[in-house]
Amino acid sequence: AQTVTQSQPEMSVQEAETVTLSCTYDTSESDYYLFWYKQPPSRQMILVIRQEAYKQQNATENRFSVNFQKAAKSFSLKISDSQLGDAAMYFCAYRSPANAGGTSYGKLTFGQGTILTVHP
Amino acid sequence: EAQVTQNPRYLITVTGKKLTVTCSQNMNHEYMSWYRQDPGLGLRQIYYSMNVEVTDKGDVPEGYKVSRKEKRNFPLILESPSPNQTSLYFCASRSLSANTEAFFGQGTRLTVV
């Protein structure tokens, strides 16, 4: 079974600065998807960024980028030019590929979450 | 608007009183699932459904039931709730044919006293 670990329960950053959230995972699969979700106080789950394991290029979405190290099974999220609206709980998640079959198909496996505080 | 709708958003109930949390999606998604979120544990899958009348257990199914009689609806049933089921619950749906990611409902905060 796959596992996802976020070792930083809480992180803080000054507005306009850069912060990196860590995530490691364990899997025996060679193809999979990794995600970062943002959960603001409204509790809504918002997809921030997605990475396909077969792509070597790191995904980017505006101020959000990832550092995907497949051999190390590491998937960190970098937030540049942090804004007050970035304050939230962030979850790292893993999903098996579409052809995985069995009970892993479609299931998201989440890390424990990291609470990000942004100071003005 | 594409969405997953959960009801209620908040619920306080007493131990042993049966309850149902509804989930409905308007995107014709085949795959639907329920997660619970607890501090320090992240989200964990309770049950999932690949299509109508096809359901299976996730990682933490004890104390829960589900049904999938229609494609759009996937209710979560707690036959005899206990305090350890106090949690934040999310329903999610996803297309198995399109290369899209899961849509989440707004969450249901359940307290069992």
With beta carbons less than 8 A apart as the criterion, state whether B48 and B34 touch. Answer: yes
In this prediction, residue B98 carries a pLDDT of 65
Quick one: residue A30, left, alpha or beta (phi over 0 = left, psi -120 to 50 = alpha)?
alpha
Q: Name residues of chain B where pLDDT drops below 50.
A: none
**Smallest CA–CA distance from B104 into chain A, residue:** A45
**Tens-level pLDDT at each residue, chain A (120 residues):** 789 999 999 999 999 999 999 999 999 988 899 999 999 999 999 999 999 999 889 999 999 999 999 999 999 999 999 999 999 999 999 998 766 555 556 789 999 999 999 999
Q: Which residues of A touch B94 (CB under 8 A)?
A: 106
- Mean pLDDT for chain A? 93
CA–CA min distance A44, chain B (Å): 5
In this prediction, residue B38 carries a pLDDT of 97
> What is the arrangement of strands in the sheet containing B65-66, beginning at the earlier edge strand?
B4-7, B19-25, B76-78, B65-66
Q: Which residues of A touch B101 (CB under 8 A)?
A: 35, 47, 50
